[in-house]
Amino acid sequence: MTTDDTFYLPAEWQPQSGIQLTWPHQETDWHPYLDDIQHTYIELAKAITTHELLLVVAPQTEPIRQQLEAHLDATHCARIRYCACPTNDTWARDHGALTLMSKTHPQLLDFRFNGWGEKFEAGFDNAITRHLCAQQILHGTYEDCNDFVLEGGSIESDGQGTILTTSHCLLAPHRNQPLTRDALTQQLLNRFHAKRVLWLDHGTLEGDDTDGHIDTTVRFAPNDTLLYICCNNPADSHYADFQALEQQLHTLRTLEGKPYQLIPLPFPDPIYYEGERLPATYANFLVINGAVIYPTYNQPHNDRLACEALQRAFPDREMLPVDSRIIIRQHGSIHCLTMQYPTGVLR
């Protein structure tokens, strides 16, 4: 097929205007430990506003404004924008707009979010992007893509026309049946003006609600690099699946036909909450202007190895750790909670 090079899906490390956080509140599943997760959000807000703008979305924004003003200095607070609208939950990665860029203007793609295959109520969250565009908080051409179910965490872009995804997520029930893998490939090529789609068939974390989002296992980095979580413990239940993932990564080639540079991330030691193993992962980091915000799990050795691997992939960026043990109780991490907007979208 021919591709339209006017628009493209940027890589996360390309220049950004800001980050969206959809704030936890009493009516979300965070309510049993709301104070703890809000503390984590304040840490994220501080890290983000050190480098760029922050958009806070919540049903009631004034209490959040007061909370942030009590913990952040005036310079950081001046970089925060607010939008009040109804929300079901907090996973901005999956209900936020996916932004295409061109030489002239951004295009905001609003895909349908249905609670990861109708597992959870998501009607309010699916309407958030429409609210943001209608209130002119996000700037760009709005494109209604609600005829297609797609979560931001299910795809990765290298900014050069390659989309990376997983078969176990996009082919999971209650997404886009009866579309086949070939038909889904065509959808991704057309909607993102991409050149190709690379599919991975292995690497699913226990406790994951998303059916295997790519941003929990494998991430693009500059210079044809793939960061991936590597399980080297034969006693771990993930071992066989993630060994198969690593083998598949070795078979992938760049657009120029060269092997990718592969940088392994450590596999966190098992973390349990109320008897359930949680999907802890170091792949769920967020790249922002000048920094990488990455999850830690109070595992000094693994946390250090993760930082070293990320610094190798992003040598010119500051490493900002955020304790993510509370976040993973709801089966996500830092990248899942956030959505970046390229230059010009958030002002």
What's the Cα-to-Cα distance from 122 to each of 41, 95, 128, 213, 216, rounded to whole Å? Answer: 21, 9, 10, 18, 21
Query: Do residues 171 and 181 lie in contact, with contact meaning Cβ atoms separated by under 8 Å?
Result: yes
Neighbour-count burial for 12-44, b at 16+ CB within 10 Å, e otherwise: bbbebbbbbbbbbbeebebeeeeeebbebbbbb
Q: Which residues on adjacent β-strands are paired with residue 296?
A: 323
| pLDDT confidence of residue 309 | 98
pTM of the predicted structure, to 2 decimals: 0.96
| pLDDT confidence of residue 3 | 45
| pLDDT confidence of residue 111 | 98
Taking alpha carbons only, the member of 139, 86, 146 closest to residue 108 is: 139
| pLDDT confidence of residue 2 | 38
> Which two tokens mark 232?
């080297």
> Which two tokens mark 323?
């304790």
10-residue averages of pLDDT along the chain (347 residues): 69 98 97 97 98 98 97 97 97 98 94 96 97 96 97 98 97 94 98 98 94 97 98 96 98 98 98 96 98 98 98 98 98 97 96
Query: Do residues 163 and 157 lie in contact, with contact meaning Cβ atoms separated by under 8 Å?
Result: yes
| pLDDT confidence of residue 320 | 98
